[in-house]
Amino acid sequence: MARQEYSADVVVVGCGIAGLSAAVSAAEAGANVLVLERAPKDDRGGNTRYTESFWRMKDHDTIADDFAERLAENAAGYLDPEVTKDYNRPYSDWQPLLRAQPALDPALIEAWGEGAGPAVRWLESKGAKFDYLPIYFLTVSTSRLAPVGGGWALVEALAKWCETEGADRVAIHYETTARGLIQDEDGRIVGIRALGPDGPCEFRGNSVVLASGGFEGNAEMLARYCGPQTQWTRPIAKGGYFNRGEGIRMGLEAGAAPGGDFGSFHAQPVDPRSGAIEAAVVTFNYGLLVNLDGDRFTDEAPATADACYEAISRDILQQKKGLAYVIHDARLDDVPNWRLGVRSDQAPIEAATLAELADKIGVNFNRLQATLAAYNAHCPPEPTGDAFKALELDGLRTKPGLIPPKSNWSRPLDRGPWRAWPIMCSNCFTFGGLKVNPNAQVLDMDGRPLPGLYAAGETMGVYHRTYTGSTSVMRGCVFGRIAGRHAARSNV
């Protein structure tokens, strides 16, 4: 069978928010674009399709007050001040060693923040609508905006543009998997080797944008980079299964510098029994988390749920079989609208007595009873009046001596009926990827752009340790647009 060949100005790998933003932006700048999408058309959109796509913004034009601060707090490990001393100088004056650092540098944070408002307005021009929609966290620490219809609405708006207004400039090839980069004799990236529904094919262009997600759908890469305990994780939604790391692997093999934290991923607590999209359980602040031995292992309420759920999910992953149970008694009903914090489509495990609950969840009753007795003994006096503030940090901390402590919402658990949900650590997306500059150009180990190669979305590595909530889809759109425009200009 003859190898099929296609050519255009720009080749984009991936059809989520990053890839579609790159494709549409490149087409608007006058380029002809080819898009490769591993999934069938009905599943297009990667992770974006399945997320509610909250953006960390105060309004349609302004990022949240804590946007840059939170990203900077998780920009790297221990930075060497001798290496990073040029951060306060213009990017053009940075030493190559500094540009190639895996850290999320100030220049990227600035480009991200500056591009957020224009990205929202641009998406609105394509038919998307943004509003202040409710979030499933009962307590929150920042401001958020979201598209009506979630990420699916963004994918459909941009894909529709490609199929209508941009039909003469954009072609999307579904069920087509990128396999490798094509370089010319001078080392420029000029295309993609791929496998389509009819066999091997090549997509040639003057520039390539890698927007094919992370590696949360690749068990081998997860175990290699994040450790063997990742056998107890799974992608949070169907889109993650299509993200198998080829784009990142291709870039690294071509000499790209790594960016972000390869040993970690965005974690979220979900009910393992549920196949629903993002079946999160985030009521743990008001109850207790116990492992399969019936022991507590973490502070359930060090902060509001949106600020601590990721760290707690990681603690769950370290437990036996990566599993925990959140235990609630009748006091859960004191929390207004607590059901909004349970996205699972599976019913809670209910019991009239603690002994019955222990039997149903398979935890030793004597051990579980001792755990609750120790916790109850360290709770502050039963709060009266307004001392218990369910929807804000109330400072009701356990008395000294309990390990681990509980920092807020500490009330005894001793009143049936009882409810419990199993919780596992799901993988929203991986953190490690390719290092890019503010133009979304992929950099080599010496901090120089790899000619013709760009990355956006999960394929670009920016996060370390803790995800800054409600910034991922924003990242995909902002840097996808930047990559598309810059790639188109490089073809002129």
User: How confident is the model over 425-443, as a mean pLDDT?
Assistant: 98
Assign 386 a pLDDT band (cuts: 50, 70, 90).
Answer: low
Per-residue pLDDT of 276-305, as tens digits, reads 988 999 999 999 999 999 999 999 999 999
Cis before 417? omega within 30: yes
pLDDT at 140: 73
4-264+431-489 CATH pick, 3.30.428.10, 3.30.70.260, 3.50.50.60, 3.10.105.10: 3.50.50.60
**CB atoms closer than 10 angstroms to residue 118:** 13
Q: Beta partners for 421?
A: 326
User: How confident is the model over 320-326, as a mean pLDDT?
Assistant: 98
Of the two residues 52 and 361, the one the predictor is more confident about is 361
Work out the mean pLDDT of the chain and round it to a whole number: 95
Q: Beta partners for 173?
A: 36
User: How confident is the model over 406-416, as a mean pLDDT?
Assistant: 95
User: How confident is the model over 357-369, as a mean pLDDT?
Assistant: 98
Alpha-carbon torsion, ordered 111, 435, 429, 194, to 10 deg: 110
pLDDT at 492: 45
Model confidence, pTM: 0.94
Per-residue pLDDT of 4-18, as tens digits, reads 999 999 999 999 999
Length of the chain: 492
Per-residue pLDDT of 181-219, as tens digits, reads 999 999 999 999 999 999 999 999 999 999 999 999 999
Domain boundaries, the chain: 4-264+431-489, 268-426
Q: Rounded distance, CA 208 to CA 377, Å?
A: 61
Per-residue pLDDT of 108-140, as tens digits, reads 999 999 999 999 999 999 999 999 877 767 677
pLDDT at 1: 58
Q: Beta partners for 35?
A: 12, 172
Q: Rounded distance, CA 248 to CA 101, Å?
A: 16
pLDDT at 384: 60
User: How confident is the model over 306-335, as a mean pLDDT?
Assistant: 96
Q: Which residues have a Cβ under 8 Å from the Cβ of 171 and sit 6 or more positions away?
A: 6, 8, 33, 34, 35
Q: Rounded distance, CA 209 to CA 196, Å?
A: 18
Per-residue pLDDT of 53-63, as tens digits, reads 999 999 999 99
Assign 390 a pLDDT band (cuts: 50, 70, 90).
Answer: confident
Q: Rounded distance, CA 82 to CA 308, Å?
A: 32
pLDDT at 491: 59
User: How confident is the model over 312-318, as a mean pLDDT?
Assistant: 97
Per-residue pLDDT of 367-385, as tens digits, reads 999 999 999 999 998 766 5
Cα–Cα distance list, 414 to 157, 280, 328, 370 (Å): 51, 25, 9, 12
pLDDT at 490: 78
Query: Of all residues in the chain, what percent carry a pLDDT higher than 90?
Result: 91
pLDDT at 343: 93
Q: Rounded distance, CA 468 to CA 465, Å?
A: 10
Per-residue pLDDT of 332-342, as tens digits, reads 999 998 999 99
Q: What is the 3-state secondary structure (H, E, C) of the chain?
A: CCCEEEECCEEEECCCHHHHHHHHHHHHCCCCEEEEECCCHHHCCHHHHHCCCCECECCCCCECCCHHHHHHHCCCCCCCHHHHHHHHCCHHHCCHHHHCCCCCCHHHHHHHHHHHHHHHHHHHHCCCCEECCCCCCCCCCCCCEEECCHHHHHHHHHHHHHHCCCCCCEEEEECCEEEEEEECCCCCEEEEEEEECCEEEEEECCEEEECCCCCCCCHHHHHHHHCHHHHHCCECCHHHHCCCCHHHHHHHHCCECEECCCCCEEEEEECCCCCCCCCEECCHHHCEEECCCCCCCCCCCCCCHHHHHHHHHHHHHCCHHHEEEEEECHHHHHCCCHHHHECCCCCCEEECCHHHHHHHHCCCHHHHHHHHHHHHHHCCCCCCCCCCCCCCCCCCCCCCCCCCCCCCCCCCCCCCCEEEEEEEEEEEEECCEECECCCCEEEECCCCEEEEEEECHHHECCCCCCCCCCCHHHHHHHHHHHHHHHHHHCCC
359 phi, psi to nearest 5 deg: -65, -40
pLDDT at 423: 98
268-426 CATH pick, 3.40.190.10, 1.25.40.10, 3.30.56.10, 3.90.700.10: 3.90.700.10
pLDDT at 134: 72
pLDDT at 383: 60
